[in-house]
Chains A and B, each alone.
Chain A
Amino acid sequence: MEPWVEWTIMGGRAAVAWVIPLMLIPLLVWMERKASAYIQDRTGPNRAAILGLRFGGIIHALADVVKLIFKEDITPARARPFWYNLAPIVAMTFALLTFAALPFADVLRVGGHEIPLQALRLNPGLLWMLAIGSFGVFGIVFAGWGSNSSYPLLGGIRGSAQMISYELSLGLSVVGILMIFSTIDLNEIVRAQGKLLFGFLPMWGVVVQPVAAVIFMAAALAEANRNPFDLMEADSEIVAFHLEYSSLRFALFMMTEYVHITVASGLTVTLFFGGWQIPWLTTERLTGSAGDLALAVPALLVVLGLLVLLSLVLLAPTRRWHRTLQRLYVDARRHEAKFWTVVLLLQAIGALALGAYLFLNPPGADGLAAITAALQFVSFMVKVTFFGFAFIWVRWTLPRFRYDQLMALGWKGMLPLALANVVVTGFVLLLVGK
Chain B
Amino acid sequence: MKVPSPKLTFWERIYVVEIIRGLGVTMGHLLKNLFRQSEMPTVQFPEEIKPVATRHRSRHRLTVREDGTPKCVACMCCPTACPASCIHIIAQEADAPWKEKKPRVFEIDLLRCVFCGFCVEACPEDAIRMDTGEVTIVGTRREDFIVGLDFLLHGEGNAWREGRPEEKPQPGPGEPLLPPSTPEEESGRGPRQVLRPKLPSAWETVREVKP
Asked if A394 contacts B23 (CB within 8 A), the reply is yes
Size class of B's contact patch? 10 to 19
Asked if B42 contacts A43 (CB within 8 A), the reply is yes
Cβ-based interface call for B186 (8 A): no
Cβ-based interface call for A23 (8 A): no
Cβ-based interface call for B25 (8 A): yes
Cβ-based interface call for B26 (8 A): yes
Which residues from 75 to 97 on chain A have a C-beta closer than 8 Å to any C-beta of chain B?
A: none
Contact string against A for B residues 11-47, beta-carbon threshold 8 Å, 1 for contact and 0 otherwise: 0000010010011011101100110001011101001
Cβ-based interface call for A393 (8 A): yes
Cβ-based interface call for A40 (8 A): yes
Asked if B48 contacts A42 (CB within 8 A), the reply is no
Asked if B34 contacts A38 (CB within 8 A), the reply is yes
Nearest residue (CB) in A for B42 is A43
Nearest residue (CB) in A for B39 is A41
Cβ-based interface call for A1 (8 A): no
Asked if A398 contacts B19 (CB within 8 A), the reply is yes
Asked if A38 contacts B29 (CB within 8 A), the reply is yes
Nearest residue (CB) in B for A214 is B16
Asked if B41 contacts A41 (CB within 8 A), the reply is yes
B107 to chain A minimum Cβ distance, whole angstroms, is: 33
A399 to chain B minimum Cβ distance, whole angstroms, is: 10
Cβ-based interface call for A182 (8 A): no
B26 to chain A minimum Cβ distance, whole angstroms, is: 5
Which residues from 180 to 209 on chain B have a C-beta closer than 8 Å to any C-beta of chain A?
A: none
Nearest residue (CB) in A for B33 is A38
Nearest residue (CB) in A for B24 is A397
B32 to chain A minimum Cβ distance, whole angstroms, is: 8
B12 to chain A minimum Cβ distance, whole angstroms, is: 13
Residues of A within 8 A of B26 (CB): 39, 393, 396-397
B35 to chain A minimum Cβ distance, whole angstroms, is: 9
Asked if A397 contacts B23 (CB within 8 A), the reply is yes
Asked if A43 contacts B27 (CB within 8 A), the reply is no
CA distance A35 to B34 in the complex (A): 9
Which residues from 27 to 50 on chain A have a C-beta closer than 8 Å to any C-beta of chain B?
A: 35, 38-43, 46
A331 to chain B minimum Cβ distance, whole angstroms, is: 10
The count of chain A contact residues (Cβ–Cβ below 8 Å) is 17
CA distance A38 to B33 in the complex (A): 6
Most buried by A among B19, B27, B30: B30
B42: contacting residue among A42, A324, A393, A394, CB under 8 A: A42
Asked if B44 contacts A43 (CB within 8 A), the reply is yes
Asked if B29 contacts A397 (CB within 8 A), the reply is no
Residues of A within 8 A of B27 (CB): 393
Asked if B40 contacts A393 (CB within 8 A), the reply is no
Given contacts A397-B19, A397-B22, A398-B22, contact A328 B30 (CB under 8 A): no
Cβ-based interface call for A200 (8 A): no
CA distance A140 to B34 in the complex (A): 36
Cβ-based interface call for A4 (8 A): no
Cβ-based interface call for A329 (8 A): yes
Given contacts A393-B23, A394-B23, contact A39 B29 (CB under 8 A): yes
Most buried by A among B19, B26, B29: B26
CA distance A148 to B47 in the complex (A): 48
Nearest residue (CB) in B for A46 is B44
Residues of A within 8 A of B29 (CB): 38-41
Residues of B within 8 A of A214 (CB): 16
Nearest residue (CB) in A for B18 is A398
A41: contacting residue among B23, B40, B48, CB under 8 A: B40
Residues of B within 8 A of A43 (CB): 40, 42, 44
A226 to chain B minimum Cβ distance, whole angstroms, is: 14
CA distance A213 to B33 in the complex (A): 31
Contact string against B for A residues 84-125, beta-carbon threshold 8 Å, 1 for contact and 0 otherwise: 000000000000000000000000000000000000000000
Which residues from 244 to 298 on chain A have a C-beta closer than 8 Å to any C-beta of chain B?
A: none
B100 to chain A minimum Cβ distance, whole angstroms, is: 49
Nearest residue (CB) in A for B40 is A43
CA distance A42 to B23 in the complex (A): 18
B39 to chain A minimum Cβ distance, whole angstroms, is: 10
CA distance A61 to B22 in the complex (A): 28
Residues of A within 8 A of B25 (CB): 397
Asked if B47 contacts A329 (CB within 8 A), the reply is yes
Residues of B within 8 A of A39 (CB): 26, 29-30, 33
Residues of A within 8 A of B19 (CB): 394, 397-398
A298 to chain B minimum Cβ distance, whole angstroms, is: 32
Nearest residue (CB) in B for A40 is B29
Nearest residue (CB) in A for B19 is A398
Residues of B within 8 A of A41 (CB): 29, 33, 40-41
Which residues from 192 to 241 on chain A have a C-beta closer than 8 Å to any C-beta of chain B?
A: 214
Asked if A328 contacts B44 (CB within 8 A), the reply is yes
Residues of B within 8 A of A46 (CB): 44
Nearest residue (CB) in B for A399 is B22
B206 to chain A minimum Cβ distance, whole angstroms, is: 46
B18 to chain A minimum Cβ distance, whole angstroms, is: 10
Contact string against B for A residues 1-40, beta-carbon threshold 8 Å, 1 for contact and 0 otherwise: 0000000000000000000000000000000000100111
Residues of A within 8 A of B38 (CB): 324
CA distance A324 to B40 in the complex (A): 14
Can you list 16 A-B pairs, Cβ within 8 angstroms, ordered by A? A38-B29, A38-B34, A39-B33, A41-B29, A41-B33, A41-B41, A42-B40, A43-B40, A43-B42, A393-B23, A393-B26, A393-B27, A393-B30, A394-B19, A397-B19, A398-B19
7 residue pairs, one from A and one from B, having the closest CB atoms: A38-B33, A43-B42, A38-B30, A397-B26, A39-B26, A397-B22, A328-B47
Enumerate chain B interface residues (CB-CB to A < 8 A): 16, 19, 22-23, 25-27, 29-30, 33-34, 38, 40-42, 44, 47-48
Given A41-B40, A46-B44, A397-B25, 5 further pairs, Cβ under 8 A? A35-B30, A40-B29, A328-B47, A393-B23, A398-B19
